[in-house]
Structure 1
Amino acid sequence: MSLFILCAFALLAGFIDAVAGGGGLIQLPPLLILQKDVAPALVLGTNKFAAVTGTATAAVNYNRRVKVNWRIIGPGMLSAALCSWLGARAVSLIRPELFRPIMLLLIIAMAIYTFKRKDFGSTARETKASVRPMPYVLGFCGLIGFYDGIFGPGTGSLLMFAFVGILGFDFLQASASTKIINVTTNVAALVQFLSAGQIIWHLALPMAVCNIVGGIIGSRMALAKGSKFVRVIFLVVVVGVILRYGYDIVQSML
């Protein structure tokens, strides 16, 4: 019964993550609840394995239909991967909890801005940064990659907002680009979990299959319905991230 529940959540997580990121908000909590007697590293490794497979599948689907600017995304991948690795190494030096209030304020600001500007991300546009994008791409991919390595939640939302707000991508282009960057940063963490044997295979494999199916459905629906649909799901995910951070902060104060 627990495997069926986990697979159902993995399917939904793959769908949501393929459209607008945030699948971890859906997939990880039931794993933590149903595997509460298992070491946290095993739970995180299992979650990461399932998530990476779905994200990679969605990235391939997007790359077939959405024109990806590899001259921008390629360096962004390298910057994000390097800084994600640095962030993972800095975990012992910086308390991840310090990021929660900062991230909560940032995500709230993103939600308000996106909600108020109805045309935000509906079509691609030229911005000051899009004329000479490289410094901006290296900068925000590096910063978000570092955050992903040291803490993680909300990374996809941050990347999507940066691609739309800074480089003028529409939400569909931003979602495709975000998936590629996310795969890069997550693979490094997955390698660590694999080398340490921190994956529960009898859960990870069926969850991965369901996450892949969700990723295929989500990416196809996003491609069919376009940027307006992605924008709506993005706002739903952002609200979920806000509630998650708010809950964590309140719990830490009790």
Structure 2
Amino acid sequence: MEISFEIMALLVAVATLAGFIDAMAGGGGLLTVPALLAAGIPPAQALATNKLQSSFGSFSASWYFIRTGTVQLKTMWLSIACTFVGAGIGAEVVQHVKADVLMSIIPIILIAISSYFLFSSSITPHPDDKPKLSEAAFAFIIGGSVGFYDGFLGPGTGSIFTVCFVALGRYGLVAATARTKVLNFTSNIAALTFFIFAGLPIWELGLTMAVGGFIGARMGARVVLGKGQKIIRPLVIFMSMTMAIKLLWEQHSQWLQAIF
């Protein structure tokens, strides 16, 4: 399909902002998917094209965290493998199953995430705190299930990974965010692979948006290391609540309009 230069430029700008936000708190898809749909892209192709462009952004942030030593891949190999498998299965299943039931659960998950960050007295674990799950259990349970969710639908994946790393892995926010981006990139690549086999991504559009997403994600990763918890905590709360409200409105707008 033909896309004008003006629309393309706007989508690149949206991808840049989304990459910046996604690197810090997740939720970039809240901006890019509606923008793609508004540009007239069919839903399945919009999801696949978004995975294409967001893969570059998540790679940019992941590589920055790896290069600065914030995260070491050798400590995450099992989580990476389980996340990849889970996301691949999710991307395959979503092409054959209606997602209505799961879509109704997402706002509840997002509200729970924002409530955790909002009301938790401290989200910086004590040095003596022990992880509530072993590395292997975290990889299979969290990596596999959240990876599946990202391949199947995706909204709020970054926030879910972050809260799991903080609450179950007992990582600080910066370390949790860095590990989140590595697993987010993993799930993006796995889902994208299956979407490519299905012939869904719009390559020219996705790669053009990827330029903006890559730049935005690199800027966001730098802010994480510079500002840390001061920026991440309120942004996770804001993005999680915004996504929850948006999804609830989309699901129940007719009912709400009938009341008000």
User: TM-score, normalised on structure 1?
Assistant: 0.89
Report what 2:237 is aligned to: 235
Tell me the CA shift for residue 44 of structure 1: 2.5
Extract unaligned runs of 5+ from structure 2.
1-5
Residue 252 and residue 210 in structure 1: after superposition, are their counterparts in 2 closer, same or farther (change >3 A)? same
5 Å-filtered alignment, 1:104-183, equals 104-120=107-123, 122=124, 125-129=127-131, 132-183=134-185
DSSP-derived class of the 1:129 partner: coil
In structure 2, which of residues 93, 98, 102 is the aligned counterpart of residue 95 of structure 1?
98
Q: Is the 8 A contact 1:124 1:170 kept in 2?
A: no
Extract unaligned runs of 5+ from structure 1.
none
Comparing 234-243 and 52-61, the one that deviates more: 234-243
Residue 45 and residue 93 in structure 1: after superposition, are their counterparts in 2 closer, same or farther (change >3 A)? closer
The 2-side partners of 1:141 and 1:62 are apart by 19
**Fraction of identical pairs, as percent:** 32
Residue 45 and residue 133 in structure 1: after superposition, are their counterparts in 2 closer, same or farther (change >3 A)? closer
Report what 1:250 is aligned to: 252
Letter paired with 1:84? A
The 1-side partners of 2:192 and 2:97 are apart by 22
Residue 71 and residue 90 in structure 1: after superposition, are their counterparts in 2 closer, same or farther (change >3 A)? same
The 2-side partners of 1:127 and 1:88 are apart by 36
Q: Does 1:21 align with 2:23?
A: no
Tell me the CA shift for residue 218 of structure 1: 0.6
Tell me the CA shift for residue 94 of structure 1: 4.7
Residue 126 and residue 101 in structure 1: after superposition, are their counterparts in 2 closer, same or farther (change >3 A)? farther
Residue 27 and residue 126 in structure 1: after superposition, are their counterparts in 2 closer, same or farther (change >3 A)? farther
Report what 1:216 is aligned to: 218
Residue correspondences, number: 251
Q: Is the 8 A contact 2:56 2:213 kept in 1?
A: yes
Residue 226 and residue 93 in structure 1: after superposition, are their counterparts in 2 closer, same or farther (change >3 A)? same
Output one character per residue of 1:40-71: Cα deviation in whole Å (capped at 9) or x when no partner. Answer: 33322322211110110110001122432545
Letter paired with 1:57? S
Tell me the CA shift for residue 99 of structure 1: 1.4
In structure 1, which of residues 39, 43, 54 is the aligned counterpart of residue 42 of structure 2?
39
In structure 2, which of residues 224, 227, 246 is the aligned counterpart of residue 225 of structure 1?
227
Tell me the CA shift for residue 189 of structure 1: 2.1
Indicate the RMSD between aligned Cα atoms, in angstroms: 2.3
Output one character per residue of 1:61-99: Cα deviation in whole Å (capped at 9) or x when no partner. Answer: 011224325454211111111122222333366531111
Comparing 96-105 and 128-137, the one that deviates more: 128-137
The 1-side partners of 2:17 and 2:221 are apart by 12
Q: Does 1:52 align with 2:41?
A: no
The 1-side partners of 2:64 and 2:215 are apart by 12
In structure 1, which of residues 187, 190, 193 is the aligned counterpart of residue 189 of structure 2?
187
